[in-house]
Amino acid sequence: MSTWLVTGANRGIGLELARQLTARGAQVIGTAREPEAATELRATGARVEVLDVTRPDSVDALGARLRGEAIDVLVNNAGIGGLGGGVADLTADHLLRYYAVNAVGPLLVVRALLPALRAGGGKKIAHVTSLMGSIGDNGSGGAYGYRASKAALNMLNKSLALELGREGFTCLVLNPGWVQTDMGGRGAPTPVVESVRGLLAVIDGATPADSGRFFNHDGRALPW
């Protein structure tokens, strides 16, 4: 039985990942900022752990709790969205918040969980990024914090792929599509069940030859 750790698993894409994974018999450790309120996550059968990815003490404490355990697959899913205004409206705090949650946080999670990931047999790390982090696809601009933080996440994943690839890890960045969650809104075209089914198929099928690559939830390779 494989063990997966999913961040931001109390709602949205993370919760659906926990649902589909537990339904197929995987062991899931789902993280939430407020575990006592994560009733839907707990109902999946997942083990719930507290984690705020912007707080290094919280990330390190999770790593310490999991020392001696084995994790096969890490899905760094937690993130914040939103468009923000034009360049004249931007503040440093606004931009740095995006970096803290969407880029620095996931990297700190990898660092903290490395002993558990090294102990696992799966050796896969998947980051939920966004097509909005693609420079090649950016045809409408705006969303400075979100776009730049996801582009940074893509770059961090590439370096992880090169460094950890030597140990047999496969490190991916995955676009879930525009999904019906709190972040994506009700008007989004992709049901969360469909997005997550696709994400899991991509992760399941990925081999070390795919490490460092950027995939859509339907398996298509995406432009940087």
List the interface residues with ligand NAP, window 125-164 (CB under 6 A): 128, 130
Q: 149 with 98: CB under 8 angstroms? A: yes
Residue 108 CB partners (closer than 8 Å, separation 6+): 53, 56, 59
44 near ligand NAP (CB under 6 A): no
Distance in Å, CB of 79 to ligand NAP, minimum: 2
Q: For residues 129-151, b (16+ Cβ closer than 10 Å) or e, as one string?
A: bbbbbbeeeeeeeebbbbbbbbb
53 binds ligand NAP (CB under 6 A): yes
Q: Which two tokens stand for residue 64?
A: 């310490």
Reduce the DSSP state of residue 69 to 3 states and report it: coil
**Does 72 help bind ligand NAP (rule: CB under 6 A)?**
no
Residue 198 engages ligand NAP in binding (rule: CB under 6 A): no
214 secondary structure, DSSP code? E
User: For residues 168 and 220, which CB has a smaller minimum distance to ligand NAP in the complex?
Assistant: 220
> Quick one: which of 180, 172, 181 has its CA closest to 219?
172
Is the CB of 57 or the CB of 68 nearer to ligand NAP?
Answer: 57
Closest by Cα among 157, 194, 142, 208 to 13: 194
Q: How far is the CB of 31 from ligand NAP (least distance, A)?
A: 7
Among residues 6, 14, 62, 160, the one that binds ligand NAP under rule CB under 6 A: 14
Q: Is 146 an annotated catalytic residue?
A: yes
Please check whether residue 33 is in contact with residue 105, taking contact to mean a CB–CB distance below 8 angstroms: no
For the segment 91-110, give every residue that binds ligand NAP (CB under 6 A).
Answer: 101
Task: Give the pair of three-digit tokens for residue 68.
Answer: 């001696």
| Least Cβ distance, residue 1 to ligand NAP (angstroms) | 24
The number of residues that bind ligand NAP (CB under 6 A) is: 28
For ligand NAP, which is the closer residue by CB, 119 or 224? Answer: 224
Radius of gyration of the chain (CA): 16
Catalytic residues: 146
Interface residues with ligand NAP (CB under 6 A)? 7-8, 10-14, 33, 51-54, 77-81, 101, 128, 130, 176, 178-179, 181-184, 188
